[in-house]
Chains A and B, each alone.
Chain A
Amino acid sequence: MASIARNVLILAAVLSGAVVCTPAAAQNEQFIPILSYRTGPYAVNGAPYANGVVDYYNLINERDGGINGVKILFEECETAYATDKGVECYERLKSKGPTGAAFINPLSTGITFALTEKTATDKIPIVTMGYGRADSKNGAVFAYNFPLLGTYWSAADIAIQHVAKELGGLDKLKGKKISLLYHDSPYGKEPIPMLQVLAQKYGFEFTPIPVTHPGVEQKSQWLAIRQHRPDYVLVWGWGVMNSTAIKEAAAVAYPRDKMIGVWWSGAEPDVTPAGDQAAGYKALMLQHGAGKFPVHADIEKYIYAKGKGSTEPGKIGEVLYNRGITNAMLGVEAIRKAQEKFGKKPLTGEQIRWGLENLILTDARIKELGFEGMLKPVSISCSDHEGARYGRVQQWDGKGWKVISDWYTADESLIEPLVADVSAKYAAEKKVTPRDCAKET
């Protein structure tokens, strides 16, 4: 009995000590939640991305003392790529800090779908760089969604453009067979409508092939591919599905250089498990690829030299790490833009939404930020929440990613009608009155 009492006392002491030790929340801080997944089947891809995000926020705090003196306060919440956990994390973090969450970045198309309505009510922007719902490019309907730098419809178009280039022209697509091997979830299904439009326009035969989550078993899919003999296989996978696809492709002797992954299927963890078999595999780039740029030097100097890094120094510059810092940078720049209008203090989600919508990054500014060579100019507006539609293609040579193509720009004349159509449906279903973008300043 005595021992229990003593334990309770110790526990109480620890608790009260912890309460006392917690610093009173500083008022000059901007809170940014990070939804990440460092465990579970998708940890392999989730962790490097989260490391990039964390390192960049730390860099801003360490090097610049915050955004114009407003320190970034951030907290991670583990979602394990599960929608319900993501919703819980969002609710947990949305009102932390002096002004609540600046924006939310769920890193899961499923969580994006679940949060789209909630974030609009809570007035917190939802930034989905290179993923999320493709129709949310239309800012008139989706005021709070920002699928920055590229949606899956842009990705689909860029992939087909590259295929056409390899074949020698868009007219050569006629009669060709292109299959899409996709993760059977909202993420994997997003590109299908666009690919159907493209197939009709260019006259190629399009076959979607679903792979059940998490994608460890793909033998039947690849035996079907071996029999069907498509000219190209597009891979829309995530996590273990990507490396398994490459291995199975090798097993059925399907040429890896006829496989093109989306930008979420083109990072180091997707190819290294397949060893030599992955050589030749191609993937889209969400503008940036692997490698180190001036910003990495700063990260190494201010963060890793002080032992504050969140990963092994050797992993700086991996594809997903770079995507993490790019994503964090865009968020920080949006806050900076919003501060121009609303003052250099912690801002609310609504104010940062304005910052995101008016964010313009010129080549000069990108160079200043140390991202030269990773990004092309970005210009976000009310009617275009995507901001840029560029992409390149990279190829894995067995040791590293090599950029093998020039810049492509997704064909807006094809994407725009589809965006207008699908977002109008959403607006009708949810009774959203689209804003008039001409009147937005």
Chain B
Amino acid sequence: MLYRETGQFKTTYAEDIAIFPIRQDRIALAVLLGIAFIGVPLLATFRIWPFGSDYLLWAILLPFLILALAAIGTNILVGYCGQISLGSGAFMAIGAYSAYKLATGVHIPFAALGFAISIPPLPVLASILLGGLMSAAAGILFGIPSLRIKGLYLAVATLAAQFFFDWAFLRLPWFTNYAPSGSVNAPELVFFGLVVRTPVERYLLCLVFVTLLAMLAKNLVRGNLGRQWMAIRDMDIAAELIGIRPLYAKLTAFAVSSFIIGVAGALWAFVYLGSWEPLAFSIDRSLELLFMVIIGGLGSIMGSFIGAAFILIAPIMLNVLPTELGLPLSTQTITHLQFIIFGSLICYLLIKEPHGFARLISIGKEKLRLWPFPY
């Protein structure tokens, strides 16, 4: 009764191809955005439960938003275009370190040629976006082998990117401005003269990025480009036969995906960590992102959010719960149990619903349409 599109007549083409054609979906989205943009900051500002401390904002919502963004990027490549990538962490790192270099000023001396390239420190916003672009460029470069290598072989090949950039940011001191420890600090976050400092401000900043890029992604995947990607995913040879250029489709997927992941990486470094080392973007991060995408649902933007929430929050819940319940378990046992339960949960979800949470939601929607008279 609640979720029924009866009576919603579409009288123009524009309405027919609207991004959310069902009114209830639009309302739900508006409510969600309202809560995210107005409700959460209000509660946090006045420190009303559950925002009594910064914990929820700092340790849950902030990483959730940024990782959801990275998961959207990964989903474009893996879920929409079917190219398995284990290099997402590296592209986050490229975004982070490029943004860092651009925000602190780039100086490349060409001693032999007698001149030098010098870029003065850029504003933070420009650095983050350009960081994304650098990541996109690297994505295109490492995407070229995908024209020849496929499936799991490609997955392992993308690990080359992962390990190469892990190494580069660790060993080439130019990237870290010759910091003795190799750990670098984010510049002050100034956006159009406003300084972002408190958790609420950081949260809102990320929220704006995530909303805009998620909208961009949603529109891309239902347009010409997205359909090309999906055709390649479903069967690349057939797609080629009907006139889709694999070179163009695959490389645009790599570029768009890496751009979004790169921006997420820059946010992760600048807004969440503040000070970081390459280990923050290790292979574990890549696997985590892949998990988010698969558990959330391949080929679903909404799924990326749900997957990110699940993969981020489930281990923390499993870790906190025994202490909160007052169970007399040692930290060690709790962590081992957390591993065991989390691993089993993943296997269980993959077996029960290989298409992820997104599929569960669409099943739920179908059921709601018929509810309460399923006949």
Contact = CB atoms under 8 A, between A and B. Distances in A.
B277 A431 contact: no
A426 B339 CA distance: 38
Contacts of B272: 87
B181 A186 contact: yes
A53 to B, nearest CB: 12
A110 B319 CA distance: 22
Contacts of A133: 181
Contacts of A189: 180-182
A132 to B, nearest CB: 10
Given A91-B54, A429-B185, A114 B332 contact: no
Contacts of A114: 273-276
Classify the secondary structure of A's interface with B. helix
B348 interface: no
Interface in B176-209: 180-183, 185, 187-188
A190 B182 CA distance: 9
A7 interface: no
Given A110-B183, A193-B180, A78 B274 contact: no
Contacts of B53: 94-95
B55 A95 contact: yes
Interface string B273-310: 11111011000100000000000000000000000000
A350 interface: no
Interface in A78-101: 78, 80, 82-84, 87-88, 91-92, 94-95
A117 interface: yes
Given A39-B335, A84-B63, A431 B279 contact: no
Given A21-B326, A110-B183, A186-B183, A83 B276 contact: yes
A273 interface: no
Contacts of B339: 39
A210 B171 contact: yes
B219 interface: no
B170 interface: yes
Contacts of A304: none
Contact of A186 (B54, B167, B182, B274): B182
Given A78-B335, A186-B183, A91 B58 contact: yes
A118 interface: yes
A306 interface: no
Contacts of A95: 53-55
A190 B181 CA distance: 5
A138 B366 CA distance: 64
Contacts of B330: 38, 310
Interface in B62-110: 63
B316 interface: yes
Which residue, B276, B332, B336, has most C-beta atoms of chain A within 10 A? B332
B324 to A, nearest CB: 8
The residue among A76, A95, A186 with the most chain B CB atoms within 10 A of its own CB is: A186
A185 B274 contact: no
A110 B326 contact: no
Nearest to A213: B279
B325 A18 contact: yes
A110 B277 contact: yes
A131 to B, nearest CB: 11
B275 A116 contact: yes
A92 B275 contact: no
B58 A110 contact: no
A192 B180 contact: yes
B44 interface: no
Contacts of A420: none
Contacts of A210: 170-171
Contacts of A6: none
A10 B229 CA distance: 49
Contacts, number: 102
B325 A117 contact: no
A348 interface: no
A363 interface: no
Interface residues of B, number: 39
Give the interface SS of chain B, mostly helix, strand, loop or mixed.
helix
Contacts of B171: 184, 210
Interface in A30-44: 36, 38-39
A92 to B, nearest CB: 6
Contact of B59 (A87, A185, A192, A429): A87
Contacts of B326: 18, 21-22
B331 interface: yes
Contacts of B185: 117, 426, 429-430
Contacts of B170: 184, 210
A298 B185 CA distance: 44
A83 B273 contact: yes
Interface centre among B53, B54, B272, B277 (most CB of A within 10 A): B277
Given A18-B325, A113-B183, A431 B276 contact: no
A414 to B, nearest CB: 15
A253 B158 CA distance: 38
A47 B58 contact: no
A145 to B, nearest CB: 12
A38 B331 contact: yes
Interface string A185-216: 11001101100000000000000001011000
Given A92-B59, A184-B170, A189-B181, A39 B332 contact: yes
A441 B167 CA distance: 46
Contacts of B336: 39
A15 interface: yes
A75 B329 CA distance: 12
B334 interface: yes
Contact of B55 (A22, A92, A184): A92
Nearest to B188: A431
A422 interface: yes
B209 to A, nearest CB: 19
A88 B56 CA distance: 10
Interface string A202-245: 00000000101100000000000000000000000000000000
Interface of A: 14-15, 18, 21-22, 36, 38-39, 47, 50, 75-78, 80, 82-84, 87-88, 91-92, 94-95, 109-110, 113-114, 116-118, 133, 184-186, 189-190, 192-193, 210, 212-213, 310, 422, 426, 429-431
20 contacts: A14-B325, A15-B325, A38-B335, A39-B339, A47-B332, A50-B331, A82-B279, A82-B284, A83-B277, A83-B280, A84-B280, A88-B316, A95-B55, A110-B279, A113-B277, A133-B181, A193-B180, A212-B167, A310-B330, A429-B187
Interface of B: 53-55, 58-59, 63, 167, 170-171, 180-183, 185, 187-188, 272-277, 279-280, 284, 316, 319-320, 323-326, 330-332, 334-336, 339
Given A82-B279, A118-B274, A422-B180, 8 more contacts: A15-B325, A18-B324, A18-B326, A38-B331, A39-B339, A77-B331, A213-B279, A431-B188
Q: Report, nearest first, the 3 A-B pairs whose CB atoms are least far apart.
A: A91-B59, A186-B181, A38-B332
